[in-house]
Structure 1
């Protein structure tokens, strides 16, 4: 088999090529513009293959601008031949203008067909969209196409017209695929841009940061939508393309069960920890109401009015929602996918439930696509051009902090044991136009830290910030620690000795600069003293105390400290404690926002309300505080890992979750 793919650097295209590499044999030729060759070569290097071969051309040129000699060498019957031609290059953007849609969607499809015809390919696979159905009302099945439907935007119109070109002008066998709204990968959350439901994520984040999660918000029924993850789309494309006897058919790559818009939004609210929307009126009571009188219909009509749209643009652009998107929050069509389901039967390929992967989508957006840090002029003023040493940068809080520092114009200096992960993070930062420095180091090795400090002071123009994030957490009761004194030694070695050795090694350079700020990632446990964390809390408390003492010595040199008493964060460090899977936690991105705040504002401490309450309780009513903690000690058992056992089901789970929610963020 051999393949030709347009749009291979695009979102769906990258996943399709990966799918073909994993499950098919043969060469994969990918169309690429001359200027995009470096990007394609980087992708090929990441895939680690010699089966992907770039072919220089252009979507806007006749026959895609591919050299005639290449066409002659790969024409069926006279050359090697192309079995499958996948045309994915297009614009997938409701906000794009008419000229762009026409040039890329319509013109690009015609030029792709010209090349496919010249090559006499085995089958031309056109990736269209459910947008071709326009505003058709009711059930739209896979045999339907031109039903006289209204096409409300340039995107809808050009998707319809490009599909029509394939249906009426192709001289080779063809198949059409109509994906619904494509979101990130269900397993990783990977997405390449803000589009579709992602436009609303900024609002959800604002609600989460300002309102308690338990507060119900009033909502309305905005109709149904349909979202599918990109890994489902690419897997279905690959599978259906290789089925025999399906030429001349269209396939709906959609969720067979349409999702009410408010349920989709609530899935992301739950993933973010934001309050959810309640819809007081059951849609079954309004099913006979004419659509223009329903909330969805009224919103659709209003947002299409030029005057209303111009007013909305001013208001909604502040929260990152284009007015055009509000006009298409729901589908009037219900997409029948029985033909696709039959084609996929027995393959194991299906659409996962959104609730099962909404958190992955949210987490990826929060860590990679949320650009609010870079847009904050206050943050950019403090971080642009600054060098920020971030320890533990290969994952969790450190990784997201590095991404945010780079977004704000700073240069993160990435420090951790594993060079490979640091190199991957630097590549991501550089792809986005930022800069990063990789300095692998084992921070439990004091001599390695000394060498690191020498390198940093010699090679960097300055050391402006140090984020002491690398750490080790151990949750084990004293009863189970009698023969494990090394737990205390290794925790203190990394969390305390490693951290202060790094700061002490960099202080001379900071003194010479007459400036520097150290951010210590401490723990809410220092204020609340939860049971079973004697090794971890003691190491963090030691770092706190050391920083408090030397602050008075160094403040005259322009060197300052912030201790962030971090609540429970959803990081790889807490993953071994399965008890935490159902506990309320903050995300690494929320934690990174606190680190950015520490660098910008430079307070002596950043605390949570609960952490402060715990500190006050230990000061004013210590006996009562220890009684409460002793109760928690009996409610939350030692983990199976601490006991050296296989995990078992808990018998006091309801009590545990109740206490965890009451004392949100405390490490139990």
Structure 2
């Protein structure tokens, strides 16, 4: 069995190649332009298969510009020809869509014919259904539907070419709106619902999540994760007896647009929308109203008008939401996928519920695709060309901070124990045009820190910022700690001794520069003193106190400090405490934004309102504060990990969640 794949460097394409490499035997030939070889080399490493071979060509040339000698050599040997190379973009112009989608498909069909391929697999789109009203099944194609945009027209035309001009057997796959990987969140560009994420982020940052928002029923949409699309295509392509058929790779149940928006709003921690007039009403007496007068029809018609689009471009367009996307946010057709579901039966391949992976998609966008940091002129001015030493940079807050620093033109200096993960972070930064340096170091080893400081001051032209992020958290009551004094020693070793050893090793360099800023990732626990965190909070308090004292000694030399009393963050460090899975937390990206603020504004402290309230309560009414904390001590038990047991269900979960929401961000 051998394969030829176009668009292998694209989003769906690279997932499909991974499926073929992991689950199929035989050679996999992938089309690549000469100028994309460097990107292809990175993908070859990621795929981890010696069976994937690049073939140089170009989508815009006849027979894809593949060397005739290669075609002659491999004629009759290609069992499956997958054509994925195309423009999947509502905002692309007519000429680009025509060249890539129509011309590219005609050239791919020509090459497949020359190769005498066993089957030509065309990745089309549900956009081929245009503005068809009603149920659109997999046997339907030319139904006289209106095609409202260049994208719709060229997806329809490219599918027509395959149906009418291919000289080899063919199969067509029509995905709905494809979003990131449901397991990892992996996505390579802002598209579809991602256009609305900056607006959701702005809502989250400016409005309380409980604030009710009013929306309207904008009809139905349909989104599927890329891993489902790739797995389904791989399975369907190898089923015998289905040539000449089309498959709808869609969610069998249409998703109301407002439900999709709310799923992502909940993932972001933003307010959600209620629809006072929804389909429970419109299916009643209002069902007698003509379709042209339905709210969704009126709204869609308005946003497709030229003058309205011009206004939208000057308003929400500045948030990165193209007016063209608003005009096509819902589908008039309902896509029947019974043939696909029957073909996939027993394979274990199905569309996961959006709620189950919305947070994963949001987290990936926030950490990897959100470009707001790099667009902020104040941040760029403060960080461009600056060397930022970040400890704990292999994951969580440290990793996201590194990505944001690089986005703003800074040079992250990545420090952590694991070199491989640091190299992955550096590769991600360099792939986006940034620069980073890797310095592996065990920060609990004081001698290793001394060697690190010598390296940094010798090899770097300057040390402008130090982000003390690496840390160890232990949640265990004193009652369970009498025979575990090492918990206190190892927490102090990393969180306090390691941090100040690093600062002391770099202070001479910063003094000689007459500039330098240290950001300590402290904890809201320093202000609130939550039970069971005596080891962790003591180590962070020690770092706070040390920084406060030496700040007065170093400020005259241009060296300053910021202590961030960070609330509970959703990072690998809190993963062992399963209780936290249902707690309100901030994301690593939100925490990284606080770090960026600390570098740009250089305040002495960054606190939350609840942290400040806790500090005041301990000062003004300490006895009452300790009574409240004692109540929490009894409501939140020691974790199974602290007891050395398997996790079991709690009996006071409702009380725990209530307290966690009232005292949002505290490490209970």
1:247 corresponds to: 243
| Post-superposition offset of 1:327 | 0.4
In the TM superposition, structure 1's runs of 4+ consecutive aligned residues that sit over 4 Å from their partners are none
Q: 1:203 aligns to what?
A: 199
- Whole-Å separation in 2 of the counterparts to 1:127 and 1:47: 21
1:17 and 2:13 are equivalent in the alignment: no
5 Å matches for 1:483-494?
483-494=483-494
Q: Structure 1 residues 293-302 or 435-444, which shifts more?
A: 293-302
State whether structure 2 residue 479 is matched by structure 1 residue 479.
Answer: yes
1:144 aligns with 2:140: yes
The aligned counterpart of 1:591 is 591
Counterpart of 1:154 (choices 132, 150, 153) is: 150
Task: State which of 100, 104, 108 in structure 2 corresponds to 1:104.
Answer: 100
Partners in 2 of 1:608 and 1:311 — Cα distance? 38
Quote the residue 2:666 is aligned against: 666
Deviation of 1:281 after TM superposition, in Å, equals 1.6
Using the TM superposition, give the Cα deviation of residue 438 of structure 1 relative to its aligned residue in structure 2, in angstroms.
Answer: 0.3
Report how far residue 305 of structure 1 moved.
1.3
Distance 1:42 1:569 in 2: 32
Distance of 1:272 and 1:390 partners within structure 2: 26
> In the aligned structure 2, how far is the partner of 1:498 from the partner of 1:89?
51
1:168 to partner: Cα distance: 0.4
Query: What is the CA deviation profile of residues 303-343 of structure 1, one whole-angstrom value per residue up to 9, with x for unaligned ones?
Result: 12111111111112111100000100100000000000011
User: Is 2:218–2:295's contact at 8 Å kept on the other side of the alignment?
Assistant: yes
1:501 has 2:501 as partner: yes
Q: Find the counterpart in structure 2 of residue 194 from structure 1.
A: 190
Residues 268-312 of structure 1 deviation map (CA, whole Å, 9 limit, x = unaligned): 011111111011123132242333322221121111211111111
Unaligned runs of 5+ in 1: none
Provide the C-alpha distance between the structure 1 equivalents of 2:236 and 2:646, rounded to a whole number of angstroms.
Answer: 42
- Corresponding residue to 2:222 among 214, 222, 226: 226
- Report what 1:657 is aligned to: 657
User: Which residue, 170, 176, 179 being the options, matches 1:180?
Assistant: 176
1:581-660 correspondence runs (5 A):
581-660=581-660
Q: Which residue of 1 aligns with 2:565?
A: 565
Distance 2:309 2:572 in 1: 45
Q: Deviations over 1:94-139 (max 9, x none)?
A: 0000000000000000000000000000000000000000000000
Distance 1:63 1:423 in 2: 39
> Relative to structure 2, which stretch is displaced further, 333-342 or 33-42?
33-42
Report what 1:87 is aligned to.
Answer: 83
Contact conserved, 1:135 with 1:333, CA < 8 A, in 2?
yes
Q: Is the 8 A contact 1:292 1:301 kept in 2?
A: no
Deviations 1:433-469 (A, max 9, x none): 0110000000000000000000000010100000000
Pairs within 5 Å for 1:121-136? 121-136=117-132
1:527 aligns with 2:527: yes
| Residues 299, 326 of structure 1: 8 Å contact kept | no
CA–CA distance in structure 2, aligned partners of residues 263 and 594 of structure 1: 30
Distance in 1 of aligned mates of 2:373 and 2:460: 24
SS in 1 for 2:315: helix
Instruction: Tell me the equivalent position of 1:325.
Output: 325
Alignment partner of 1:439: what SS? Answer: strand
Mapped partners of 2:364, 2:400: distance in 1: 10
Q: Give the secondary structure class of the aligned counterpart of 2:401.
A: helix
TM-score by length of 1: 0.99
Q: Using the alignment, how far apart are the partners of 1:628 and 1:486 within structure 2?
A: 29
Tell me the residue number matched to 1:62. Answer: 62
**Whole-Å Cα distance in 1 between the matches of residues 57 and 47 of structure 2?**
22
1:38, 1:202 → 2: CA distance?
Answer: 31
User: Is 2:209 aligned against 1:213?
Assistant: yes
Aligned: 1:427 with 2:427: yes
Write the distance in 2 (CA, Å) between the matches of 1:281 and 1:300: 17
Instruction: Please give the per-residue CA displacement for 1:469-527, whole angstroms capped at 9, x wherever unaligned.
Output: 00000000001000000000000000000000000000000000000000000000000
Distance 1:45 1:337 in 2: 36
Q: Distance in 1 between matches of 2:295 and 2:53?
A: 50
Deviation at 1:38, TM superposition (A): 1.3
RMSD value, Cα: 0.6
Check whether the contact 2:216–2:278 (CA below 8 A) recurs between aligned residues: no
Instruction: Judge which range, 304-313 or 493-502, deviates more.
Output: 304-313
Do residues 267 (structure 1) and 263 (structure 2) align? Answer: yes
Are 1:376 and 2:385 matched, yes or no? no
Q: Matches of 2:304 and 2:607 in 1, distance apart? A: 47
